Structure 1
Amino acid sequence: MAALLPSSFPFPHASFPNAKPHQLATPAATRPESPNAAPAPNPASARLRRLIAREDLAGAARLVERSASRDGEAPDVYLCTKLIRNLCRRGRTSDAARVLRAAEGSGSLVDVFAYNTLVAGYCRYGHLDAARRLIASMPVAPDAYTFFCRGGMVERAIQVLKQMAEHGCTANTTLCNIVINSICKQGRVDDAFKFLNNMGSYGCNPDTISYTTVLKGLCRAERWDDAKDLLKEMVRKNCPPNEVTFNTFICILCQKGLIEQAIMLIEQMSEHRCTVGVVTYNALVNGFCVQGHIDSALELFRSMPCKPNTITYTTLLTGLCNTERLDAAAELIAEMLRRDCPPNAVTFNVLVSFFCQKGFLEEAIELVEQMMEHGCTPNLITYNTLLDGITKDCSSEDALELLQGLVSKGVSPDVITFSSIIGVLSKEDRVEDAIQMFHVMQDIGMRPKAVVYNKILLGLCKRCEIDNAIDFFAYMVSNGCMPNESTYIILIEGLAHGGLLKEAQDLLNELCSRGVVSKNLIEEWH
């Protein structure tokens, strides 16, 4: 496959160096600053930016609070807002409130967006009284979004719409569209349709975005006839569908495998003076690939009247990898380079995933190294994919080196990252290290799921440390993590492996009678 590509193409070649995961941690070359770059930020802002990037939110909050008592070191309000948002996402609304007050005291010109962020955080966790108090104390004029957040729930938001005029904030179509989108996200398409028809009572009329949002909800619910009727209604009410409306409909049809209906809809686009562009063709290409019709996808790709983009190529590349047509995939990527359409991180991740799935770990590592050489930064998906490949080979040292590498590059590990590391440590009988990593995961604010607990339980049971396994199981339950069938199977097999066959059989029968594990498991044991 690689022989078909230019030598400069970032793809594994015939021979591979003995690359190790820690080599991926080598920082990319520092890019020179533009001569027209903006002035350097003040020291407080520079430090705050670094702390936020490292997700040291506690340190960032302390920095803002210290800045409140110093002249000339007011941190940038954008960074303060970003910190408030990150704190709210983790449920730390009290800390976020302190940051906001400290920003006010430091002399930063706190704008409505900072207040909106905290109001939204309060509402997300049901602290509606705190949200209302904050709105009442705002030194800047609240906007429509503030009032929407104040509601906390869709029903409350609709009530707030009626109150907005009393506060000198006129309802507009944009705000109503936010409400429609929220209703649709809850799967309440009929309520969204009703709200759409009642928008006039709030002093505004639906626009194309309003109709397109409801249309998307109808399509997600697979109510195709209702979606088609809504298109006709748009025309009747002098709000004709645009390219976004049609592409929304077409994309979902293709995702559901209804390609013929999608093609019929495309034929209607010209009637409404809508251009059939690359977004439309990408939807069709994806539809063919999802259905496994890769040849049809390639045929459509070759006949496209518009220039394909990276999404087009990446979609086709995914289809070719899924069907293991590697030579065609190599030709396609070479074509990308010839047509000045360089691969992006998503494109590379498709290839990295393919190589890892096939066990070609060295090739995957080589690809990531060359990915960086070509100015494409690996992301968390890239590293997690590599970790999955490494842990399948039971290489805990390489996995830990890769973890250190991704952290040094400013990439924050997630639950998947830790799950892979904990799994391979347990497999290699490094259960103490796995438990230590488990606690690191907890210390940075992550809540391990059952799959993570199960990996440690499995390691303990393989050691025949049944008492420790039972203690860890109790710890799992006390932390509010619901055991699943795999959890109980691990415990049952652990009891049996430890010579406690009667206890294992009794536990199995008890769990089966409660419907916790399937009856097929009992049959396997007899």
Structure 2
Amino acid sequence: MKASKSISPFRLSSLLRSQNDPTLALQLFHNPNPDANPQKPFRHSLLSYDIIISKLGRAKMFDQMEQILHRMKQETRFAPTEIIFCNVMSYYGRARLPDRALHLFDEMPSFRCERTIKSFNSLLDALYKCGHFDKMKEVLERIEDYGTPDACTYNILIKAFCGSEDLENARKVLDEMRSKGVEPTDVTLGTLIYKLCSDHRVKQALELKEDWERVHGVLPSAFVYASLMKGLCGVGEMALAFGLKDEMVRKNIRLDAPVYSTLISALAKAGRRGEVPGLLEEMSKHGCKPNTVTYNAMIHGCCMEKDFEAAYGVLDEMVEKECRPDAVSYNVIIDALCKEGKWSEAHQFFQDLPRRGCHPDLLSYRMLFSGLCDCGQFQEAAFVLDEMIFKGYAPHYARTHKLVEGLCEEGNMELLATVLSSLQKANVLDDGTWRVVISTLRREMSSDVFELIDTLTMQ
């Protein structure tokens, strides 16, 4: 029998890149040539290490990833590049693992890799994503050991201060950035504009944007324009928001889906849904396709006007245009139906979600459960609660109280016992709920009540 052709290091890198399953990719990395002589270990390339580390990091398989890092440390044929460690610290940051990011940064010299401002920024960003602002200040004291702060460094600091509601210090960082001769970027502007608009300081945001263009020559990005438009719409300045859209056209800044989604959402909230088709036509003219957020804004507008048939029509259009609806698409409709007292239609729509290719999430269950309780449909609410808890979702305490109160008022002790048992198993049976039950038991000392007491005592 002819032996299979052995895989070369170059070929392994290609195979690893094309393998979507990180577990299978790891197996391939460990054993690329099963028939090879065990006395001649495979000589992995740096590219192979880079690819497998990236796959494991994105999959949050950190223990396996760290084993590969340890193996790479033993290599003597090459020194790892700094970008590998930057990526790993980024994975740690997204996974809220600041200690691992700090440890890796400290370990980089043992890999024969020099630490520069690039890896320092990666560490700083990981700490920012983990919300470790005090640790960021501590790390910053050593920045001169690794280089001079660049625009990325300052942008991370500005994001951190904006995220901690400290706009004053964010401005101070911007001033220092300018005094050190570091040119601000569109990320700098975008962060500050977004924060100002979130705080309803839209006038200051507009002034900052104008100053940026005039003094720094930084052309605002579509993200900046979208933030400004959202801020303007939030304070009722729709005309100014649409004026910014026209300005983007004049300055040849590509209008993207978030910009149009922001305006469509604003039109819906203002009761001007009739203007949406014209905006969609303009989107098409500019070669911009509606995305899920765009359609969700349209669905929200339909639901605000209680036009549920139109909302269903938007869902169908999404499918036709191959734009996959997400949980938000469905939850908006469920919530609106429940608020209108259409609990039966909401329940049917909820049960139809799997057929539509969407699995209900925590919000879906909470919305339906709350709607059923508000409509006094306690038996249906109890069934939804049972399924909700089975799937590991916790209901709001206020709504479980309403359900328990409703069952007590109806005198449905059998269903009440089932509900209390479910809440107890899920460890969400609080003192407030017990007080409601005990109060009822004291008023209604019937045979059903005694049976309920026996059931609860046995549990």
TM-score after normalising by structure 2: 0.73
Mind listing any 5+ residue stretches in structure 1 that lack a counterpart? 1-108, 123-129
Give the Cα–Cα distance (whole angstroms) in 2 for the partners of residues 319 and 516 of structure 1: 43
| Residue identity (%) | 23
Aligned to 1:515: 430
Higher normalized contact order (CA 8 Å, seq sep 6+, divided by chain length):
1
Query: Does structure 1 retain, via aligned residues, the 8 Å contact 2:372–2:380?
Result: yes
Q: Which amino acid aligns with 2:259?
A: T
Query: Does structure 1 retain, via aligned residues, the 8 Å contact 2:81–2:113?
Result: yes
Shift of the 505–443 alpha-carbon distance from structure 1 to 2, 3 Å rule, reads: closer
Written as runs of structure 1 = structure 2, the 5 A alignment for 1:152-231 is 153-164=61-72, 165=74, 171-220=80-129, 227=136, 230-231=139-140
Offset of residue 344 of structure 1: 2.2
Offset of residue 399 of structure 1: 1.4
Shift of the 437–110 alpha-carbon distance from structure 1 to 2, 3 Å rule, reads: farther
Shift of the 289–463 alpha-carbon distance from structure 1 to 2, 3 Å rule, reads: closer
Query: Does structure 2 retain, via aligned residues, the 8 Å contact 1:211–1:234?
Result: yes
In the alignment, is residue 135 of structure 1 matched against residue 29 of structure 2?
Answer: yes
Written as runs of structure 1 = structure 2, the 5 A alignment for 1:95-494 is 111-115=15-19, 117-119=20-22, 122=23, 132-138=26-32, 142-147=48-53, 149=55, 153-164=61-72, 165=74, 171-220=80-129, 227=136, 230-231=139-140, 233-237=142-146, 239-270=147-178, 273-304=181-212, 305=215, 306=217, 307-424=219-336, 434-443=346-355, 446-457=358-369, 466-485=378-397, 487-489=399-401, 491-492=403-404
Shift of the 394–361 alpha-carbon distance from structure 1 to 2, 3 Å rule, reads: same
Shift of the 377–321 alpha-carbon distance from structure 1 to 2, 3 Å rule, reads: same
Shift of the 149–217 alpha-carbon distance from structure 1 to 2, 3 Å rule, reads: closer
SS of structure 2 residue aligned to 1:303 = helix
Shift of the 505–393 alpha-carbon distance from structure 1 to 2, 3 Å rule, reads: farther
SS of structure 1 residue aligned to 2:360 = coil
Give the Cα–Cα distance (whole angstroms) in 1 for the partners of residues 405 and 306 of structure 2: 22
Aligned to 2:447: none
SS of structure 2 residue aligned to 1:143 = helix
Offset of residue 200 of structure 1: 0.5
Please give the per-residue CA displacement for 1:153-180, whole angstroms capped at 9, x wherever unaligned.
4354333222124597753322222222
Q: Which amino acid aligns with 1:295?
A: K
Aligned to 1:10: none
TM-score after normalising by structure 1: 0.64
Give the Cα–Cα distance (whole angstroms) in 1 for the partners of residues 222 and 250 of structure 2: 13
Give the Cα–Cα distance (whole angstroms) in 2 for the partners of residues 458 and 184 of structure 1: 35
In the alignment, is residue 500 of structure 1 matched against residue 410 of structure 2?
Answer: yes
Q: Which amino acid aligns with 1:158?
A: E
Shift of the 265–504 alpha-carbon distance from structure 1 to 2, 3 Å rule, reads: farther
Please give the per-residue CA displacement for 1:238-265, whole angstroms capped at 9, x wherever unaligned.
x222222222222332343433323332
Please give the per-residue CA displacement for 1:469-513, whole angstroms capped at 9, x wherever unaligned.
4334333333443333355256346547xx715759978999799
Aligned residues: 403
Please give the per-residue CA displacement for 1:69-113, whole angstroms capped at 9, x wherever unaligned.
xxxxxxxxxxxxxxxxxxxxxxxxxxxxxxxxxxxxxxxx96321
Query: Does structure 2 retain, via aligned residues, the 8 Å contact 1:454–1:486?
Result: no
SS of structure 2 residue aligned to 1:198 = helix
Offset of residue 293 of structure 1: 2.4
Query: Does structure 1 retain, via aligned residues, the 8 Å contact 2:26–2:52?
Result: no
Give the Cα–Cα distance (whole angstroms) in 2 for the partners of residues 435 and 212 of structure 1: 49
Please give the per-residue CA displacement for 1:358-382, whole angstroms capped at 9, x wherever unaligned.
3433334543344334432211011
Shift of the 187–325 alpha-carbon distance from structure 1 to 2, 3 Å rule, reads: same
Offset of residue 334 of structure 1: 3.2
Q: Which amino acid aligns with 2:87?
A: I
Offset of residue 357 of structure 1: 2.8
Considering only aligned residues, what root-mean-square deviation do their CA atoms show, in Å? 4.0
Q: Which amino acid aligns with 1:215?
A: L
Q: Which amino acid aligns with 1:114?
A: S
Written as runs of structure 1 = structure 2, the 5 A alignment for 1:13-162 is 111-115=15-19, 117-119=20-22, 122=23, 132-138=26-32, 142-147=48-53, 149=55, 153-162=61-70
